[in-house]
Amino acid sequence: MFKSRKNAIDELLDVTQPGRRPAAETPAESLGPKAAPAAQMVANVVGDETLAEKPENQWIEMWRSLLANKAATISLFFILLLVLVAVFVPMLIPKTQTTEPVNRRIMLYNPTVTNMSAVRQKPSAQHWFGTDDLGMDIFSRIIAGARVSLSVGVIAVAIALTLGVIVGAVAGYTGGWLDTILMRVMDMMLSLPSILLAITLMAVLGKGIDKAVIAISLVYVPEYARIVRSTILSIKENDYVAAARLTGDSRTRIIFRHILPNTLSVIIVRATLGISAAILDTAALGFLGMGVQPPQAEWGAMLGWARGYIFQCPWMLIFPGLSITLAVLAFNLLGDGLRDALDPKARVK
């Protein structure tokens, strides 16, 4: 059994001062034989810091659990690499209307410049992923398309998340006729397939990447509203919410201060999975010619332009399709890993 600090000091004084007077009774000895074990345990817990274990931070545990999931960890680093490539590599692409690469080590070309002398070339040292039917370098266009796909996915999810959280929070906390009206509107939107609703909105708004962002964000508002509403319905009856009402907090303060922070884990997981869905919808709209317009590069648009060369020039479809697949798979695996890491019952130790 660990000794308290007082006993350790008394023993040290006995060694250094042999003739000193014996130490007084410890609290455990003065309480009698029955109470001695309990008193000694209290003294040990209070007096010895080695017995007082500090609880681990929840976010540190979550991070360790996420790193223990190999698929989620690989996906996280792949997404970080994709973000770095999408942000910084296009800065190296020449802005002039030239058909020459930026240098001989990084074979990056201007993704919007045609080169009719290099039409439909196979992958080589000069063009790592080959060229398309207009002689544009596919590798450079995939790098440029990564910025478009990630930007649309993140911005669309951010807009949908903001609107969905507001609608779901108001409906879930207020209830009554307002909840009924808002949820019936959300149900009508959910009754349509997401891509069909996005195409309908694009037909109204017109073509363009900015219109695609608006259409995709509106499509996913009902999902976030439903998730936030169901979570708030289970949280708003807790004691700490009732205590906040008794202290005179306003509805807005209760929702954003006491309720929404407890839905953060659900929102994070759904937003991660939502980015992958937004990337797919962006690619679908681009494939149909309703998203990014030529000559700008986007993965889905590249697939749409190359669908007539599937047998003659398969590399024109393989590399854009592989980019979409890897990006969507990475966000899905990361979302699954975050869901397990944020759930204490499913957390990987």
pLDDT at 46: 43
Residue 255 has pLDDT above 70, yes or no: yes
Q: How far apart are CA 82 and CA 276, in angstroms?
A: 13
pLDDT at 217: 92
pLDDT at 161: 92
Q: Where are the beta strands (DSSP E) in the chain?
A: none
> Can you tell me whether residue 114 is helix, strand or coil?
coil
Supply angle C-alpha 276, 282, 283, rounded to 5: 90
Q: How far apart are CA 273 and CA 304, in angstroms?
A: 25
Residue 23 has pLDDT above 80, yes or no: no
Q: Which region, left, alpha or beta, applies to residue 2 given φ > 0 means left and ψ of -120 to 50 means alpha? A: beta
Mean of pLDDT over the chain: 79
Q: Which residues, other chains included, contact 266 with Cβ-Cβ below 8 Å and sequence gap of 6+?
A: 227, 228, 231
- Residue 61: name the closest of 330, 345, 303, 344 by CA: 344
Q: Where are the domains of the chain?
A: 5-51, 61-342
- Please tell me the pTM assigned to this model: 0.76
Beta bridge partners, 131, equal: 137
Count other Cβ atoms within 10 Å, centred on residue 214: 17
DSSP 242-304: HHHHHTT--HHHIIIIIIGGGGHHHHHHHHHHHHHHHHHHHHHHHHTTSSSPTTS--HHHHHH
Percent of the chain with pLDDT over 70: 79
Residue 111 has pLDDT above 50, yes or no: yes
Cβ density class 13-31: b for 16+ within 10 Å, e for less: eeeeeeeeeeeeebebeee
Q: How far apart are CA 141 and CA 93, in angstroms?
A: 10
For residue range 291-305, list pLDDT tens digits in order. Answer: 888 788 889 888 888
- Residue 189: name the closest of 159, 216, 152, 170 by CA: 216
For residue range 270-321, list pLDDT tens digits in order. Answer: 888 899 999 999 999 888 888 888 788 889 888 888 888 888 888 889 999 9
- Which CATH superfamily is 61-342 part of? MetI-like (1.10.3720.10)
Q: Across residues 198-225, what is the average pLDDT?
A: 89
pLDDT at 80: 93
- Residue 150: name the closest of 56, 86, 240, 232 by CA: 86
Label residue 41 by pLDDT band (50, 70, 90): very low
299-306 and 138-174 helices cross at what angle (nearest 10)? 130
